[in-house]
Amino acid sequence: MSRRVVITGLGVVSPVGNSVDTFWKALCAGKSGIGLITSFDTTDFPSKIAGEVHDIDFTQFVEAKEARRTDRAILLGMVAAHEAVKRAGFDTPQADAERIGTIIGSGIGGLSTLETEHTKLIERGPSRVSPFLIPMMIPDMPAGRVSMEYGFKGPNYALVSACASGAHSIGDAFMMIKCGMADAIVAGGTEAVITPMAFAGFCSMKALSTRNDTPEKASSPFDVKRDGFVMGEGAGILVLEELDHAIARGATIYGEIVGYGASGDAHHLSAPAPEGAGAQIAMKMALSSAGLQPSDIDYINAHGTSTPLNDKFESCAIRHVFGEAVAEVAISSTKSMTGHLLGASGAIECIASALAITDGWVPPTINYEDPDPECDLEYTPNTSIKKTVRYAMSNSFGFGGHNACLILGKYEAPQVAG
């Protein structure tokens, strides 16, 4: 019998809330977390807006000395993991720790630390560079630190696939549990690159929105006025667990991962393949692995970055895969509220999809005012809707042509014969 994989823990740190409950309430209320950047001087930058995480005290989770020696991306991941692990009931030593793994992705890793220490190198010489530079910077360290914090000794690594990193991490965890390599895995993504270097690079690519006068409206997926994505930061962490293992512990079950698809565009460094060809492959693969038809999907949390090509070609891909069934599926881009969390985006959007199933609400695409004729699907404009969601699909696509698609289902307890 195939092993079923359920969700027993959720944790979020985001521009719209630093817990699962505040995050979800904000999404359903259509609240924007986008504002003018406060973390550095944006005078010389064409884009001056982002979705920053506010009101968070890392010393509530790690000692002050450790916080100073830890990159922001790692800290955000640790905070989200703290909530997820606590909800799952894994926050105390586990007898089967060798069967609990940690897979946390990041698109870029500790860029803030690299910038700071590089400045020291240039201005003050190599002896002034921190001995903690490497463990603060390398993208595997969120997974490493979380595993150390809780003593998890199962599969432990980071996955880097740009903006698909969080989704791929969850997909890998799903497959590992399904095939018996672990009984539970803490999985997701974290990112913190609202920094001068990252903004300089993305601005040079002309990838970021420059609608600085109205930050809260700048992320407008599928709208004809969209002019680029809005950077966000944060982390999303899930605890995935084999069903019998979860039942034996009496764990709360938030939903089930039922399908996973991954593909490559083999097309361009940053632009998606025409017609969303690679995305189509990932979505079809996910449906096939779940044993579902397009008509079974009630909600799609779209990648929906608010960039001209992504939104156009993702809409094409959905239309091709779903055919006539597209008329019945609700679609939304929660990036309209959170901004684009890069390597963490797929993870917090997977969490949003799980909550849509458990709560029966579909969050909106805000700032959808002037529909793009080339994006002609039902994007849940501006207001959340009440809807029974039995199956939800979450799409994530990254620079380099990396595509990931997750399908979540409402948990149905096994039928007992009698």
Domain ranges of the chain: 5-249, 260-409
- Band (117; pLDDT cuts 50, 70, 90): very high
User: Is domain 5-249 given the CATH code 3.40.47.10 in the classification?
Assistant: yes
Task: Identify the architecture of domain 260-409 in CATH.
Answer: 3-Layer(aba) Sandwich (3.40)
C-alpha span between 308 and 313 (Å, rounded): 9
pLDDT in tens, 273-330: 999 999 999 999 999 999 999 999 999 999 999 999 999 999 999 999 999 999 999 9
pLDDT in tens, 28-84: 999 999 999 999 999 999 999 999 999 999 999 999 999 999 999 999 999 999 999
pLDDT score of 416 more than 70: no
pLDDT, residue 417, reads: 57
pLDDT score of 195 more than 90: yes
C-alpha span between 351 and 9 (Å, rounded): 10
CB 5, CB 242: distance < 8 Å:
yes
Q: Which residues contact 278 (CB under 8 A, 6 or more apart)?
A: 263, 264, 265, 266, 267, 272, 397, 401, 403
pLDDT, residue 374, reads: 95
CB atoms within 10 A of CB 204: 10
CB 377, CB 323: distance < 8 Å:
no
- Single-letter code of the amino acid located at 65: K
pLDDT in tens, 125-163: 999 999 999 999 999 999 999 999 999 999 999 999 999
Tally the residues of the chain.
418
pLDDT, residue 339, reads: 98
Same fold, 5-249 and 260-409: yes
Q: What is the pTM of this model?
A: 0.97
Reading the block at residue 267, the tokens are 């097309």
CB atoms within 10 A of CB 78: 26
β-strands 35-36, 234-242: how paired?
A: unpaired
CB atoms within 10 A of CB 179: 10
pLDDT in tens, 355-389: 999 999 999 999 999 999 999 999 999 999 999 99
C-alpha span between 299 and 301 (Å, rounded): 7
| DSSP character at residue 177 | H
pLDDT, residue 418, reads: 52
201 vs 57, 196, 197, 208, 253, CA distance in Å? 29, 9, 6, 10, 41
Q: Which residues contact 76 (CB under 8 A, 6 or more apart)?
A: 13, 53, 190, 191, 192, 233, 234, 235, 344
pLDDT, residue 342, reads: 98
- What letters, b where the CB count within 10 A reaches 16 and e where it falls short, cover 249-265? eebebbbbbbbbbbbeb
pLDDT score of 1 more than 70: no
- pLDDT above 70 as % of the chain: 99
179-182 contact pairs (CB < 8 A, 24+): 179/3, 180/3, 181/101, 181/154, 181/155, 182/99, 182/100, 182/101, 182/154, 182/155
CB atoms within 10 A of CB 23: 29
Average pLDDT for the chain:
97
CB 312, CB 271: distance < 8 Å:
no
Q: Find the radius of gyration of the CA atoms of the chain.
A: 20
C-alpha span between 64 and 326 (Å, rounded): 51
CB atoms within 10 A of CB 378: 15
What is the longest distance spanned by two Cα atoms in the chain? Answer: 76
> What positions carry a catalytic annotation?
163, 303, 340
pLDDT, residue 412, reads: 85
